[in-house]
Amino acid sequence: MAIFRGAGVALITPMHEDGSVNYEKLTEILEEQIAGGTDAIISCGTTGEAATLSEAEHMDVIRHSVRVTAHRIPVIAGTGSNSTETAVKLSKEAEEAGADGLLLVTPYYNKATQGGLYEHYKAVAESVSIPCILYNVPSRTGVTIQPETMARLYRDFENIVGVKDAGGDLAMSSRLMSLVDRDFLLYSGEDGIVLPLLSIGGSGVISVLSNIAPREMHGLCESWFKGDVEGARREQLRALALIRALFMEVNPIPVKAAMNLLGKEVGPLRLPLTEITEENREKLRAEMERYGLLPEGSGRG
């Protein structure tokens, strides 16, 4: 049940100045992503400010993304929750809306045991038929899905097909890949280590950087899959300084600022997220200039 191979974008959710979702702008950036070679749209994940969308908004954004994308590339809906009941409800609705797959973050705050994580994902997987990608991001959720638990879920449920790994632990990722077969989908959840994860059998990345550089992130993965290791290495290393800048403040603060610097007019963030500091905005602008996304000296005068 493969969903995509390459660079999927963890898409931002554009807002009007009053904080409401800007669906006209969402249409525009979806079309730009498709034209830019993005391999999949990930809707309503962390970067999409899912934590501050109401359930109604959450589903409206997913439905809109599915409708606009029209199956030209897959749409993967973020439907995870710290409430299993809510995760099941959102997942069913996303499947009914036509999503091609689900991204399921580990339950946050509860700090479930490995047994609890297994039962949580079992409940969601049994409620839908579309592919499910687990999302391991302990820095945000306070809990890690251990490789043995992921492998067990993969074995037991046909529609649990892989993981977005944002744990940053290459040894743990390698252990996971030793426990599963080659059909398992390992997606990097950190733009700075895409190539290392590809080297142990990864299928690509779910990328923040792809919001502003979709063609480049697609190209990094494509180079690897074509056997151009040196080309993939060059692109990974070239992007590192910009990737660091995109995480100077908590995601998605910098990436939304970056899109606005590009003239995309994607609007503000919802509290408790606040706008990037002026000092960090200038650092971000400088890295975007170095990477070639903005002309040199764009912030002067």
The pLDDT tens digits for 83-119 are: 999 999 999 999 999 999 999 999 999 999 999 999 9
- Predicted confidence at residue 300, as pLDDT, reads 59
Q: Exactly one of 164, 187, 264, 291 is catalytic; name it.
A: 164
Cis amide leading into 147 (omega within 30) = no
- Predicted confidence at residue 298, as pLDDT, reads 75
pTM: 0.96
- Predicted confidence at residue 296, as pLDDT, reads 83
Sort 27 into a burial class: Cβ within 10 Å, 0-12 / 13-18 / 19+.
Answer: middle
Give phi and psi for 238, each to the nearest 5: -60, -35
Respond yes or no: is residue 291 known to be catalytic: no
- Predicted confidence at residue 301, as pLDDT, reads 47
Respond yes or no: is residue 187 known to be catalytic: no
Low-confidence ranges of the chain (pLDDT < 70): 1, 299-301
Domains with residue ranges and CATH for the chain: 6-226 (3.20.20.70)
Dump pLDDT digits (tens) for 270-290.
Answer: 999 999 999 999 999 999 999
Q: Exactly one of 121, 135, 187, 291 is catalytic; name it.
A: 135
C-alpha span between 206 and 136 (Å, rounded): 12
